[in-house]
Amino acid sequence: MSELDPSETTPVDPASLALSCRGLVKRFGATTAVDGVDLDVPRGSLTALLGPSGCGKTTVLRMVAGLLDPDAGTIDIDGRRVTGPARTVPPERRNVGMVFQDYALFPHLSVVRNVAYGLRGRSRRERRRRVDEALSLVGLSELGDRLPTALSGGQQQRVALARALAPEPDLVLLDEPFSNLDASLRASVREDVRRILHAAEQTAVFVTHDQEEALSLTDRVAVMEAGRIHQLADPQTLYTRPATRFVAEFVGEADVLPGRRAGRYLVDTPIGRLPTARPLEGMDVAVVIRPESLRLRGRLDGAGEVAAISYFGHDQLVQVTVADGHVLRSRRGPHLDLERGDRVALEVLGPVVAFDHDADPSGTPDAAASGTVAASA
Ligand SMILES: Nc1ncnc2c1ncn2[C@@H]1O[C@H](COP(=O)(O)OP(=O)(O)O)[C@@H](O)[C@H]1O
Ligand SMILES: [Mg+2]
């Protein structure tokens, strides 16, 4: 993986870091689960670790929590070295809270006793105060005497969060915390969790394979694949200036066309010549087209043909076959003015993102600037 352009990442003052990982490596037999991860998390931020199943997200969290020793690398929490050569601070002395996918609540203990679990060793009064605070933060003050089995999934999730927050940790780690919830509940619980973490000014790292969840919930997203971080940036930068083709395709919807360099900032594609915001290096490039940036107009001499329409009510996704049999998607409003078989003219809004084929997956990114530019199609 090539070094990222420093201008692509938000600069961070080292003194303000809640977590700093350098060169983390973890192997399981022949599998390299984590392959050189650097990760900085500023205090008070909500950072997502986003990537497909098996890319090493949980392994990173477990190393940060101290549940697993890395083969190489260092971990600092709140400026204190907790993992490094000849140094391992045990999990219970890292001041890190964890929320697991299955919540891991004790079924035979009441809500209050579940939340108090991480407060052993503190005075009775102190325990009482922190449990009350944490339960009030998650809106469960009235349900302290219930057993977890008498709670909904969303409520159990909030108990798990209260338990993690009660000891006032420097850092909370959440591993796929919403994956056990129904789709209908997920959006509202997600919003609750965000509000609670913000209210507590809590630094958190949140693992998910769901890009929508990562983008909508967090300030910063690290996109991971095969044990490596491709890019760490705010959601808008990830979407509009993906550093690699993997990021472009994993975050948001993207279709990819082959392209050939026609100038420093110009690429020839099967739908015509398109501008690129960044200079092109190689001759052969992969051009990323986002469905919402592709506009269609019904025209008898149009270069595309409507192959399929999926209607969602609030919008529709139109598949268009273009030259050489490539298929592009266009997302447009609810008005149905096209049908299968219609010829359409295509227009791409804004300069496109393109990656060198050879350098993939770490090709030179092209920034997508604002502005409307018509493709010749
Ligand atoms: N304890 C383990 N023993 C062997 N292989 C493991 C173990 N934990 C994780 N792995 C492997 O490491 C890789 C990364 O796993 P994991 O961190 O759980 O991924 P993610 O959380 O992104 O889905 C996977 O290939 C997984 O099979
Ligand atoms: Mg996992």
Taking the CA of 102 as reference, the closest ligand is: 2
Nearest CA to ligand 1 atom 12: 33
Q: Which domains does the chain have, with CATH numbers?
A: 6-95+169-240 (3.40.50.300), 253-356 (2.40.50.140)
Q: What pLDDT was estimated at residue 11?
A: 58
Amino acid sitting at position 336:
L
Are 311 and 288 in contact by the 8 Å Cβ rule? The answer is: no
| Residue 121 region by backbone torsions, left for phi larger than 0, else alpha for psi between -120 and 50, else beta | left
Nearest CA to ligand 1 atom 4: 28
SS3 annotation, 192-215: HHHHHHHHCCCCEEEEECCHHHHH
Of 275, 249, 247, nearest to 261 by C-alpha is: 275
- Find the helix or strand (DSSP H, E) in which 135 lies: helix 124-137
Amino acid sitting at position 134:
A
- pLDDT for 238-283, tens place per residue? 988 899 999 999 998 999 999 999 999 999 999 999 999 789 988 9
Q: Tell me which DSSP letter residue 352 carries.
A: B
Q: What pLDDT was estimated at residue 12?
A: 62
Are 291 and 348 in contact by the 8 Å Cβ rule? The answer is: no
* Tens-level pLDDT at each residue, the chain (377 residues): 444 444 445 556 667 899 999 999 999 999 999 999 999 999 999 999 999 999 999 999 999 999 999 999 999 999 999 999 888 999 989 999 998 877 789 999 999 999 998 898 889 999 999 999 999 888 899 999 999 999 988 889 889 989 999 999 999 999 998 887 777 778 888 888 888 888 888 999 999 999 988 998 898 999 999 999 999 999 999 988 899 999 999 998 999 999 999 999 999 999 999 999 789 988 999 999 999 999 999 999 999 999 999 999 999 999 999 999 999 999 999 999 999 999 999 999 989 999 986 544 443 333 333 223 333 33
User: 3-class DSSP state for residue 261?
Assistant: strand
For residue 233, the cross-strand partners are 221
- The helices-and-strands tally (H runs, E runs) of the chain is 8, 21
Distance between CA atoms of residues 348 and 290, nearest Å: 9
Q: Is 77 in the pocket of ligand 1 (CB under 6 A)?
A: no
Q: What pLDDT was estimated at residue 5?
A: 45
Q: How many residues does the chain have?
A: 377
Distances (CA, A) of 218 to 14, 47, 197, 248: 20, 6, 11, 18
Q: What pLDDT was estimated at residue 216?
A: 87
Best of 25, 26, 31 for a ligand 1 pocket test (most atoms within 8 Å of beta carbon): 31
Q: Is 58 in the pocket of ligand 1 (CB under 6 A)?
A: yes
Q: Is 111 in the pocket of ligand 1 (CB under 6 A)?
A: no
- pLDDT for 309-329, tens place per residue? 999 999 999 999 999 999 999
For residue 222, the cross-strand partners are 49, 232
Q: Is 53 in the pocket of ligand 1 (CB under 6 A)?
A: yes
